[in-house]
Amino acid sequence: MNQIDLNGHKAVVTGAAQGLGYAIAQRLVESGASVSIWDIDGETLKGAVSTLSEIAVEGAVISSEVADVSDADAVDAALAGSTAALDGVDIVVNNAGISGPNVVSWEYDVAAWQKVVDINLTGTFLVCRAAIPAMRAAMGGSSTSPRWLAKKAIPTRRPIARPKRGSLD
C-alpha cells in the first residue's frame, strides 16, 4: 500500500464518523497526521475518535467536532475547534454527503433535493470558506498538495459557476 509521510500535518475530514470519511481519516492518521473528524452524528463520532486515537503516532492529536456542514455557524465553530485542537489546519477533506432518495426527477420531492444541495454542495463551499484562511495561514515555504490547492484558490470568483459544476456530480 502507498505510504506518504504526513507527520506534522493537520487535517480536517468531514463526515468521518463512519464509511469513506472514517477510512480516509484512518489513512491520514496511519501516515502520521493529526486529524480532526467532523460529523453530524455525535454518538458514532465518539467511537471513531476512540479507535483513531489508538493508532495515532506519538505526538499526533485526534479531535472531533459535531457539526452539520450545511450550517455556516456550525462550520465556523467546528473549524475554530479543530484549529485550536490541532494548532492549525493544512489539509481538508470534504467528504460529508448524502445520496438522497433514489427517485425519478419528475417525482422528486423538492425538500429532499434541497437537502442534498445544502449538504453536498453548499456544505463543501462552507467548509472551504471557513478553512482556506487557516490553510493560507499555515503556508510556509514548503509546498505540499493541500497548500498548493489553497494557493490556487481564487478568493474573488463569482458564485455563478459553482452550482453548474455541482450539477455534474
Ligand X SMILES: NC(=O)c1ccc[n+]([C@@H]2O[C@H](COP(=O)([O-])OP(=O)(O)OC[C@H]3O[C@@H](n4cnc5c(N)ncnc54)[C@H](O)[C@@H]3O)[C@@H](O)[C@H]2O)c1
Chain position whose Cβ is nearest to ligand X: 97
CB 32 within 8 A of CB 57: yes
Please, what is the Cα angle at 86 between 83 and 88, to 5 degrees?
50
Give alpha helix (H) positions in 31-116. 42-55, 72-86, 110-116
Distance in Å, CB of 117 to ligand X, minimum? 12
Q: Interface with ligand X by CB under 6 A: which range of 9-17, 101-109, 132-140, 146-154?
A: 9-17
What part of residues 116-135 is at the interface with ligand X (CB under 6 A)? 119, 123
Per residue in 3-31, is it b (16+ CB within 10 Å) or e — as a string? eeebeebbbbbbbbbeeebbebbbbbbeb
Positions in 20-79 near ligand X (CB under 6 A): 20-21, 39-41, 68-70
Give whichever of 156 and 167 is closer to ligand X, judged by the CB atom.
Answer: 167
Which chain residues interact with ligand X by CB under 6 A? Answer: 14-15, 17-21, 39-41, 68-70, 95-99, 119, 123
